[in-house]
Amino acid sequence: MRAMAAGVGISLMAAPLGAIVVWRRMAYFGDALAHAGLLGVILSVVWHVQPLMGLILVALLFCLAFTRLPSNTWLATDTLLGLLAHASLALGMVLLSYVPNKTLDIMGFLFGDILTVLPSEIILIYGLLIVVWAVLFKIWAGLLSITVHEELAAVEGLNVKQLNLVFMILLALVVAVAIKMVGILLITALLIMPVAIVRPLSTSPEGVVFRAMIAGVGAVLLGLVWSYYQDVPTGPAIVCILAVGFILVLLIKRCFHPK
């Protein structure tokens, strides 16, 4: 039941943010952010604090670095993301080698384990869910504007840099929390796959978000059932369910709209 509650909460947070990620073609940003999260896990071991604290700290620093560096470098965005992600990952592994008598379940953070979620973490998830929805409700129109045309939105008086920073901070917080569920290697799938599944079935941005929430929650529930009865890893099972859903939608679309 705790795993189910956590999975539903994460899915409800990931859907609206994932929609913006897909529309703005920022999938690699989420992936790079998740890889950098391993540094946060290792820092939490070094500092003797909860892993979530280290994850959130590194995720926020990653976002701040990403928003500040592009205007001052000659690097393309994807190159900069790769640099930040792999530098963070390498630094984390080097720091861990200097800590004596420390054990860390790397595989657990790479692939996640929703079955170990704690009641306090569920409270955190739903508290963050309220914050994410409240902030998105306030800035949703602005996010859609900069998604359609960033330069035109700036001309119309929107603070593009501020909107981008707020969105990235929300995304960083959700990724940091969701790593507990599906892991560093699979969190990007939870952001983009529900949106990819429902995008051909929706005619409005809000419709995409609503249906992505349903797809994400459904995948979590089916993945938990599959994991329970077949003893397979829960996080990868959820992502496999989403992959099957995407293939089914693709086949249905080709059957009814072959052109």
Domain residue spans of the chain: 2-184
Please state the φ and ψ torsions of residue 154, each to the nearest 5 degrees. -65, -40
Which pLDDT belongs to residue 244?
Answer: 94
Look at residues 206, 184, 159 and name the one whose alpha carbon lies nearest to residue 19.
206
DSSP state letters, 88-131: HHHHHHHHHHTSTT----HHHHHH--GGG--HHHHHHHHHHHHH
Which pLDDT belongs to residue 104?
Answer: 67
| Third-level CATH fold of 2-184 | ABC transporter involved in vitamin B12 uptake, BtuC (1.10.3470)
71 secondary structure, DSSP code: G
Which pLDDT belongs to residue 187?
Answer: 83
Q: What are the average pLDDT values for consecutive 10-residue runs of the chain, which has 259 residues?
A: 90 93 85 82 81 85 78 68 84 80 69 83 91 95 90 87 89 85 79 91 90 94 93 88 93 75
Please state the φ and ψ torsions of residue 206, each to the nearest 5 degrees. -65, -35
Which pLDDT belongs to residue 257?
Answer: 67
